[in-house]
Amino acid sequence: GRLVAANAVGETPRSYFRSKSKRERERAMRRRSIWAWVVAIVCFVVLMIVTPAIPQSQEYHDFADQRRFFGIPNALNVISNFPFLVIGLIGLVLCYYRNYFKLSLEGELLGWTFFYAGVAAVAFGSSYYHLEPNDARLVWDRLPMTVAFTSIISIFIIERIDERKGTVSIIPLLLAGLFSILYWRQALHFSSVNYLNLWSNILYWKINLSVKYWENCLVRFFDDLRPYALVQFVPCIAIPLMAILLPPMYTHSTYWLWAAGFYLLAKVEEACDKVIYDWTYHIVSGHTLKHLCAAMVPVFLTLMLAKRTIETDRKSLLKTWKVSWTKVKVNGNDQEVSYSAVSVVESPA
């Protein structure tokens, strides 16, 4: 009956079955997407149940370099945020100046706008925090970084997976990042309360509970960095993997790997804050270098946007690279000592 109706409107049997197959593929893709979200949510809930909470350590605020210059406390940690403002504003201007970045996919402009706005806001939030490091100010340091992290994920979905899904995911991912900050921050609200009397009638017994008891309960659910850690570190793993495994829409995909490398270096410098400060004879601390290296991430992404063009031959970096290991004998044993990367030339079918 449907085939007769298709012929009645001038649709050939071949085009009818082709459109039917396309609709079936779209329905299957929607089902896979729904299941992917369900699995991700279930994994997150299980992770939150079985793993212990990660409270914010107060030692985090004790930075190596606390020198004051020109009346600015923690001066180098404050001033080193200035590059974020510069590159963030440059990126925002170029996003809208005559389509300089040649953004052609749906949602790209919105995604990159959020990214560069987050980068520029890091300069203000991080500077505000480093003027007087504490938990309350740390919120304003982490919030703009979360905007940048989540927008990058949505941009990658737009470019590598599906334009529409990536565009739709921008706001939910931003809200997820905001939730990760609020989830950690909520416990601080209760610390300002001296006593809270909660009366409940359970089996005719009235129970008076002090705020200390409830603070201990709330720490398990609120003073917790696990959601924020996921928001921060999942992009660090997912973006390099997607850059290598998924075929790109544009050229110059290796810039993503350079950006990921500089961010990894920044995290190492952050962890070695006091060690680097000692190594440099108190000239510069690891946290200051962390700011400068992290600012290189948007620099490389801006260069990528300025240089890239539409990729005509879409191949993943994994297919482009071929790793060949050279084995030599050392004391009679075969050892892999070096490798070289060469392009793979695929023969036409």
The CA dihedral of 217, 219, 220, 223, to the nearest 10 degrees, is: 160
**φ/ψ (deg, to 5) at 192:** -85, -5
Structure tokens at 7: 């012929």
Mean pLDDT of 316-326: 66
Rounded Cα gap, residues 87 and 262, in angstroms: 15
Confidence of residue 292 (pLDDT cuts 50, 70, 90): very high
pLDDT at 342 over 70: no
**Model confidence over 249-288: pLDDT tens digits?**
898 999 999 999 999 999 999 999 999 999 999 999 999 9
Q: Has this prediction a pTM greater than 0.95?
A: no
- Rounded CA-CA distance 170/152 in Å is 9
d(CA 191, CA 139): 16
Instruction: Identify the CA nearest to 319 among candidates 339, 346, 340, 348.
Output: 346
CATH number assigned to the domain with residue range 52-188+211-324, chosen from the 4 options 2.20.25, 1.20.1070, 3.30.160, 2.40.128: 1.20.1070
Encode pLDDT of 85-125 as tens digits: 999 999 999 999 988 998 888 799 999 999 999 999 999 99
**Is the model's pLDDT at 329 over the cut of 70?**
no
Length of the chain in terms of residues written: 349
**Dist. CA 133–CA 127, nearest whole Å:** 10
How many angstroms separate the first and last alpha carbons of the chain? 39
Residue 19 is predicted with a pLDDT of 61
- Residue 236 is predicted with a pLDDT of 84
> Structural domain boundaries of the chain?
52-188+211-324
Please give the average per-residue pLDDT across 225-230, as a whole number: 86
State the pLDDT confidence band at 35, using cuts at 50, 70 and 90: confident
Q: 């007769």: which residue's tokens?
A: 4
Tokens 């490398």, residue located: 261
pLDDT, tens digit, 9 for 90 and up, residues 194-215:
334 333 443 334 444 454 544 4
**CB within 8 A of 88, min separation 6: which ones?**
116, 117, 118, 119, 120, 121, 122, 123, 298
Q: Are 115 and 155 in contact (CB under 8 A)?
A: yes
Q: Residues 148, 122: contact at Cβ < 8 Å?
A: yes
pLDDT recorded at residue 290: 97
Q: What digits encode the pLDDT tens for the residues 144-180?
A: 999 999 999 999 899 888 888 889 999 999 999 998 8
- Answer yes or no: is pLDDT of 344 > 50: no
Cα separation, 303 vs 297, whole angstroms = 10
- State mean pLDDT over 71-75: 95
